[in-house]
Amino acid sequence: MPIRTAYTAKIDHLQILDEQGRLDPALSAPGTPGILSDEQVLHLYKLMIECRQLDEIAFKLQRSGRMHTYPQNKGQEACALGAGAAMRKGIDWIVPCYRENAAMFMHGVPMTHVLLHWAGDERGNQYPPGVRVTPIAVPIGTQMLHATGIAWAAKIQHKDEVAITFFGDGATSEGDFHEAMNFATVMNVPAIFFCQNNQWAISVPRESQMASETIAQKGLAYGAQVMQVDGNDLFAVHKAVFDARERARAGGGVTLIEAITYRLGDHTTADDARRYRSNDEVESWRAKDPMIRVRLYLERKGRWSETQQAQEEQRAEAAVKATVETVLAWPAARREEIFESMYKDMPKLLAEQMESWSTHSLGMDRAQQGLSPGRKLGAATH
C-alpha cells in the first residue's frame, strides 16, 4: 500500500503589540472582537503597577520574617491581566496556579487574602461569596484537574460558564496535565488551558525537560485547539483568551494556549536564580518587560506621562502598604474555624471532632468510659 500522510498541523504564534509599543494595524482594526480599548488598557496598566508594587513589598516582608515563601509575578503580569480581563467576572471560573495575582484581584479576591495565604493563614483561601476563583495551587499541576471538573459540571448542568486554568511549562511534564487534557477534550468541556511558558521549571530549562519544540503542540495530541502567543503582549493574550472563551461557549471545547513569557525574579523568595540563569539572559528579557511595552503604547497614544506614572506608583504603594497593615493586624484565628470552613453544613462526625478536639474514635465518643465525667483520657482503671 502507498504511504500517505496521516496527520499534519501548524501552530500560529500571535503578537499584536510589539516591544516598542506599536500595534499591528491588521490585527487590531476597530471593531475586531477581543481587542482591548484604550480605557481597558489604562485600567489594566494601573493594576499592573499595583501588582508590581505588591511583589516588592511582599519580598521585603519575607526577608524581614513577617511572611513565608512568596513567588513574585514580576514579568508575567500580561498573562494574568490579559487572560483575566477576557473572562467574565462572576460567571467564568479562574483556576490559578500561584503567579496570577492580577487575574485573582480582577475577579474579586481581596489582596489581603493573597498575603494571608503566603503568611500561612488558611483564611486567605476563604474568598467572599460569589467569587469564582479557586484557592492558590502550590502542588504542581493539580489545578488543571479541578478546572476540568468545574467545566464538566458546567456542561452537564447546561450553564454558560467557562473555566480557565493557569500553569507553567514544568507542569506539562506532570501526569495531571495529560490526564486533565485527555478527559477535557474527550468530554468536550468548556475549558481553557493557559500555559505560562516562562522558560524555567524552577531551575530546569524548558529544553531539558521536554523534546517537543513547543508546548502548544502537546494539545494537538488530545484534539484541543492550540495557539502560541507572545505572553508579554497584553493585547495578544487578551485576544487569544477571548476567542477561546467564545469558542468554548459555542461548544467548541478545549483550547491550549502557550504564552511565551519570562519571570524576571527568582522562582520564589527561597530561590536564587543567579545559580542557573545568566545575567545576559535576564537582561534580554528585561527589555521585553510587559510593563514597559504597555507604557510605551499609552505614551504613543498620549494617554500617559511621567507625572501620571509617579502619581500612580505613589497610589499603588500607599494601597499595598495599607493592605499589609490590615493583614499584620488580622485577629488570630479561632480553633473552630478549621472545622467551620470545610462544609456549608457541618456533618455530625465533624461536629463531634470539633467538640472533642480529637481525631480518634475514643475522643469523639464522650459516652465511652475514658471520657466519662471526672475521668481523664488515658487514666488508669482498677
Residues 340-351: what's their mean pLDDT?
Answer: 87
**What would the pLDDT profile of 202-251 be if each residue is shown by its tens digit?**
899 888 989 999 999 999 999 999 999 999 999 999 999 999 999 999 99
CA distance 282 to 263: 9
78 & 191 share domain: yes
Least confident of 285-289, 360-364, 373-377: 373-377
% of the chain with per-residue pLDDT over 90? 80
230 & 264 share domain: yes
315 & 350 share domain: no
Does residue 382 form part of some domain? no
- With cell 468510659, the residue in question is 369
345 & 267 share domain: no
- pLDDT greater than 70 at residue 360: no
Asked if 199 and 262 count as a contact pair (C-beta separation under 8 A), the reply is yes
pLDDT band for position 369 (cuts 50, 70, 90):
very low
154 & 234 share domain: yes
Q: Which H/E stretch holds residue 259?
A: strand 255-260
CA distance 353 to 340: 11
DSSP state for residue 171 in the 8-state scheme:
G
Identify whether 267 is a catalytic site residue: yes
Q: How many CA atoms lie within 13 A of 146 on its CB side?
A: 20
Neighbours of 265 (CB within 10 A): 20
287 & 312 share domain: yes
Q: Is 293 left (phi over 0), alpha (psi -120 to 50) or beta?
A: alpha
3-state class (DSSP) for residue 41: helix
Identify the CA nearest to 189 among candidates 231, 222, 213.
Answer: 222
What's the confidence (pLDDT) of residue 365?
A: 57
What's the confidence (pLDDT) of residue 339?
A: 85
Does residue 31 form part of some domain? yes
Does residue 209 form part of some domain? yes
160 & 18 share domain: yes
Question: 263, 277, 293, 295: which is the annotated catalytic residue?
Answer: 263
3-state class (DSSP) for residue 94: strand
Does residue 4 form part of some domain? no
Residues 333-345: what's their mean pLDDT?
Answer: 84
Phi and psi dihedrals of 201, rounded to 5?
-95, 85
Q: What is the rounded (10 degree) CA torsion for 314, 318, 321, 327? A: -150
Average pLDDT, the chain: 92
- pLDDT greater than 80 at residue 172: yes
Identify the CA nearest to 217 among candidates 236, 233, 197.
Answer: 197
286 & 345 share domain: no
Q: Which residue has the higher pLDDT, 149 or 209?
A: 149
Domain count, the chain: 2
- pLDDT greater than 50 at residue 377: no
pLDDT band for position 293 (cuts 50, 70, 90):
very high
- pLDDT greater than 70 at residue 370: no
196 & 290 share domain: yes
CA distance 141 to 136: 12
Question: 63, 274, 276, 366: which is the annotated catalytic residue?
Answer: 276
Identify the CA nearest to 164 among candidates 70, 68, 279, 242.
Answer: 242
Residues 71-100: what's their mean pLDDT?
Answer: 97
pLDDT band for position 352 (cuts 50, 70, 90):
confident
Residues 188-203: what's their mean pLDDT?
Answer: 95
Does residue 5 form part of some domain? no
Which residue range is the domain that position 353 belongs to?
Answer: 337-371
Integer-rounded Cα radius of gyration of the chain:
24
Question: 267, 277, 293, 295: which is the annotated catalytic residue?
Answer: 267
- With cell 456542561, the residue in question is 155
120 & 266 share domain: yes
Looking at this protein, which amino acid is placed at residue 129? P
pLDDT band for position 102 (cuts 50, 70, 90):
very high
Does residue 381 form part of some domain? no
Does residue 376 form part of some domain? no
Residues 2-18: what's their mean pLDDT?
Answer: 95
What's the confidence (pLDDT) of residue 55?
A: 95
Asked if 177 and 167 count as a contact pair (C-beta separation under 8 A), the reply is yes
- pLDDT greater than 50 at residue 324: yes
Cell numbers for 36: 482591548
- pLDDT greater than 80 at residue 197: yes
CA 312 to chain centre: 24
Cell numbers for 177: 496535565
Least confident of 154-158, 191-195, 351-355: 351-355
62 & 135 share domain: yes
What's the CATH number where 42 sits? 3.40.50.970
Q: Which residue has the higher pLDDT, 362 or 306?
A: 306
- pLDDT greater than 80 at residue 372: no
What are the CA-CA distances from residue 43 to residues 22, 64, 108, 227 (Å)? 19, 32, 15, 26
CA distance 362 to 111: 42
Looking at this protein, which amino acid is placed at residue 50? E
What's the confidence (pLDDT) of residue 229?
A: 98
% of the chain with per-residue pLDDT over 70? 93
What's the confidence (pLDDT) of residue 358?
A: 60
Q: List % helix, strand, coil for the chain (3-state, nearest 5).
A: 45, 10, 45
What's the confidence (pLDDT) of residue 361?
A: 55
226 & 134 share domain: yes
What's the confidence (pLDDT) of residue 155?
A: 98
Identify the CA nearest to 147 among candidates 35, 73, 244.
Answer: 244
Does residue 7 form part of some domain? no
- pLDDT greater than 90 at residue 325: yes
